[in-house]
Amino acid sequence: QETHKISLSSDKLSSTSWIVGYYRSQTNESDEASGWLFGGDATSVSTNFDITNTAIYAQSSLKISNHLSTIFNIRTEDNFTKYFSSGLNWDWGVTDYVAIPEVSEEIQHTFSGSKIAFVYNLNHSMNVFTSISEGYKAGGVNQNPYLSKFSRFYDPEFNTNVEAGIKYVSDNLLSNFTIFSMNRKNQQVQISSQQEEGNSNSFYFYTSNAATGTNKGAEFDSKVKLLSGLVLRMSCGILETHIDAYEFWTDDATKTILGDREQAMAPPYNFAIGMNYSHSFGLFADVEYTGKDGYYYSDSHNQKSDAYQLLHLKIGYSKNLWSLSVWGKNILDT
């Protein structure tokens, strides 16, 4: 596979209290692939993306008092994507290469996002903050040429997020705690389906859109300096997600109802605890124990991962510009 990319971007004018900017990027990506492609439905594929992003943005910072400050920003962006693909596949019926479906499409989306945040300094080590933001994620093209018309493209996703938290910083301790609630509109989901009845090779993975969804949860992370060279770190998160029921087209004429459950790849809890030691002579060591709750693999079926925990170890020696280490991931073979 060969890839070529060309890009141009960004000019910005700033001061201590405000920032305004203009952003433009142009990207061209061309790919040539050959071999066993799309489950054996193609032997060679040529694709080309031309993507242009243009945006204007502004941010203002205001100190309301000695303890309270606020930040406001806004951004408007235009995304234009031009996509083309063609290729060949071997047809045993005619013992020759035949063309696969050719795809030539243009997509244009316009987005806007904004955020307002307040930070209150309780003292020189601790502050509390809160924010509300409107964000977006661009849509795009699923490259598989055998996808049905209703499955080929996915639309932008739009989010509204509210969060609040507290942060503490000292010489020996760094801690953050945040709670958040996000509403997701036109949510992008990872889908897998068999596009042709009776043809198991037409089982494809791609991105689609649900109706709406929510993400709610809390996160905590901390680093503590216990002794000289010895640092303890820990983090944990809890997450509650939901995708509302939505229609999903498996082909041009068949649809089903999905959703009304947790999102895929979203474990309800995760945690990590680790310890790092480094000596002035150059010796270092690190141990980390992590875990996740079970979660759905995909938004379109009920297969789930079990909850699991992993142990990682690393020891080594560092001197000037080089280091030597021995490490093991998941050393208990979970």
- pLDDT at res. 272: 98
pLDDT (0 to 100) of residue 80: 95
| Residues 231, 223 contacting (CB under 8 angstroms) | yes
Q: Mapped to the 3 state alphabet, what secondary structure does 81-132 carry? A: EEEEEEEEEEECCCCEEEECCCEEEEEEEEEEEEEEEEEEECCCCEEEEEEE
Predicted pLDDT at 3: 41
**Both tokens of residue 207?**
């991105």
Look at the chain and count its residues: 334
Identify the pLDDT of residue 145.
85
The pLDDT value recorded for residue 190 is 83
**How many helices and strands in the chain, by DSSP H and E?**
0, 24
> What string of pLDDT tens digits covers the 334 residues of the chain?
344 444 444 454 444 688 999 999 999 999 999 998 887 889 999 999 999 999 999 999 998 888 999 999 999 999 999 999 999 999 888 889 999 999 998 999 999 999 999 999 999 999 999 999 999 999 988 888 888 777 888 999 999 999 999 999 999 999 999 999 999 999 998 887 776 677 776 677 888 888 899 999 999 999 999 998 999 999 999 999 999 988 776 666 677 788 899 999 999 999 999 999 999 899 999 999 999 999 999 888 889 999 999 999 999 999 989 999 999 999 999 8
- Are 299 and 191 spatial neighbours (Cβ–Cβ below 8 Å)? yes
Cβ count within 10 A of residue 145? 20
CB-hemisphere CA count at 13 Å for 17? 4
Which residues does 262 contact at the CB level (< 8 Å), separation at least 6? 241, 242, 243, 268, 295, 296
Nearest 5 degrees, angle CA 67-CA 72-CA 76? 170
> DSSP states of 150-183 as a string?
TTSEE--EEEEEEEEEEEEE-SSEEEEEEEEEEE
Question: What are the percentages of helix, strand and coil residues in the chain, rounded to 5?
Answer: 0, 70, 30
* The residue to which tokens 């987005």 are assigned: 111
Residue matched to tokens 């493209």: 153
